[in-house]
Amino acid sequence: MTDYFETMQQYGRDRFEATASASASLAKEFGNVVEESQNYSKKSFEEAQSYFKKLLSVKTVDEAMKAHTTFLDTARQDFLDHAGKYGELYLNFTRTLFKPASDAVKAADEGFVRPKGQ
């Protein structure tokens, strides 16, 4: 009976330590998402600012259309590139978020005694 309580106490300590370390990792992953968002916003703003400056200096409609098309192509490609980065960052964030639960399930499964024949 005492062995059972000691096992449960150790399991609780292990889960607490895993959760505490996962919290630090989770904060780091969230920081990565925030940093990427800031970088994308800054870059988009600078490109839009550059576009409007260029648009104010055009002399013909053809130049304006060319500048507009170039800006849209660049903005679309940047968005697609950053969408891929966001996907990776959120995937890492989600893995980090659920790692303590996954580890707990693995630990519980390893400690589970299966009947013979299964």
Write the pLDDT tens digit of every residue in 44-92. Answer: 999 999 999 999 999 999 999 999 999 999 999 999 999 999 999 989 8
Q: 36, 86 in Cβ contact below 8 A?
A: yes
Query: N- to C-terminal Cα distance for the chain?
Result: 27
Angstrom distance (rounded) from CA 77 to CA 100: 37
pLDDT given at position 41: 94
Write the pLDDT tens digit of every residue in 30-51. Answer: 899 899 999 999 999 999 999 9
Residue 117 φ then ψ, to 5°: 95, 0
Helix (H, G, I), strand (E, B) or coil at 28: helix
Length of the chain equals 118
Torsion of CA 108, 111, 114, 118, to 10 degrees: 70
The residue extents of the domains of the chain are 2-109
Residue 117 has which token pair?
């024949």
Please compute Rg for the chain using Cα positions: 26
Torsion of CA 21, 26, 28, 29, to 10 degrees: 140
Reply yes or no on whether the pLDDT at 113 is more than 60. no
